[in-house]
Amino acid sequence: CIRGAQLNFIQPIANLNVYRGKGEPWNWDKEAEEIFMKFNKLHYRLLPYWYTLARESHETGMPAWRHLIFSDPNNPEVYEKDSEFMVGKFFYFAPILDEQTSRAVYIPKGRWIDYFTAEVFDGPKDIAKYDAPIDRTPLFVKAGAIIPMGPEVQHVFEKPLSPLTLDLYPYGCKSSSYVLYEDDGMSTKYLEGDYCKTAIEMSDKGSKITVTIKARTGKFSPPKRKIELVFHGIEKAPDKVTANRKKQKFVYDETTKILKLSLRDTGKEQKVEVRS
């Protein structure tokens, strides 16, 4: 079913089982097939996020799907929340598992953005009826999120991580950080230390948003590529965008409130500033 596919695609390993009948997506109706492909593409674009989550689990034991207790341990209200959860530290997911097009949703502490509609919510709060048509699912992004994304692919080995897209959600968050993990994705050379990490920091001070991509550390060197920065929630076109104090070209969409720019991945520290 569509809802089951949505649940499976919002996690590192999409496990879609067909036990009987014509359950393959190409045997569904056209609308269902299109929705399936929408979430399938999202899952594959999020491969860098899933891969880094797997490394984090390996190093720390932290699960990919996380009960709200992990992020808000001193709030007894979240203890009984068992049908919604964090996916890594930046996504919050309240899946629908039947044919309903709405459900009750708890918005955790902090600011959250609906991934599909860009509607903003400040928690903690309960929403008795959260609308989610069949082509959407209640998926939220935390303010301050730094989400690495890859190109659209059909399978994990189709092409390298190029360009590397950083999906950025400043939304007034004063400070946030993320560490991207990479290796060759095929061999066991990572066991010999052949991997790399890139720390990324972001701050939103209202009139200035700063993103600092730290120098890459480790033995592994990704292929030559571009880094595409995609800023969400930018209310107006900025006065100036710079990278390492040099003025940069950018594209701004007034309708979606999205700002885009592209940099060459040098492996060295780069500081991007968006001023308004």
pLDDT at 155: 86
pLDDT at 29: 86
pLDDT at 239: 97
Per residue, the 3-state secondary structure of the chain, as one string, reads CHHHHHHHHCCCCCCCCCCCCCCCHHHCCHHHHHHHHHHHHHHHHCHHHHHHHHHHHHHHCCCCEECHHHCCCCCHHHCCCCCCEEECCCEEECCCCCCCCEEEEEEEEEEEEECCCCCEEEEEEEEEEEECCCCCCCEEEECCEEEEECCCCCCCCCCCCCCEEEEEECCCCCCEEEEEEECCCCCCHHHHCCCEEEEEEEEECCCEEEEEECCCEECCCCCCCEEEEEECCCCCCCCEEEECCEECCCEEECCCCEEEEEEECCCCCEEEEEEC
pLDDT at 156: 85
Tokens at 148, concatenated: 């690495």
Q: Which amino acid is at 73?
A: P
Q: Give the residues of the chain that fall short of pLDDT 70.
A: 18-23
Neighbour-count burial of 61, counting CB atoms closer than 10 A to its CB (0-12 exposed, 13-18 middle, 19+ buried): exposed
Q: How do beta strands 139-142 and 120-131 pair? A: unpaired
Rounded Cα distance, 28 and 22, in Å: 8
CATH superfamily label, 2-9+22-142: Golgi alpha-mannosidase II (2.60.40.1180)
List, by residue range, all CATH 2.60.40.1180 domains of the chain. 2-9+22-142, 145-275
* Residue 15: HSE in the Cβ half-sphere, 13 Å Cα cutoff: 2
Q: What angle do CA 181, 185, 158 make, to 5 degrees?
A: 120
Q: Are 211 and 168 in contact (CB under 8 A)?
A: yes
pLDDT at 22: 67
pLDDT at 39: 95
pLDDT tens-digit readout, 150-163: 999 988 888 888 99
Q: Which residues, 6+ apart, have CB-to-CB distance to 276 below 8 Å? A: 207, 208, 234, 236, 237, 238, 239
User: Which fold does the domain 145-275 belong to in CATH?
Assistant: Immunoglobulin-like (2.60.40)
Q: How do beta strands 164-169 and 226-231 pair? A: parallel
pLDDT at 158: 84
Tokens 């950083």 locate to 166
Rounded Cα distance, 94 and 48, in Å: 22
pLDDT at 21: 60
Greatest alpha-carbon pair distance for the chain in Å reads 60
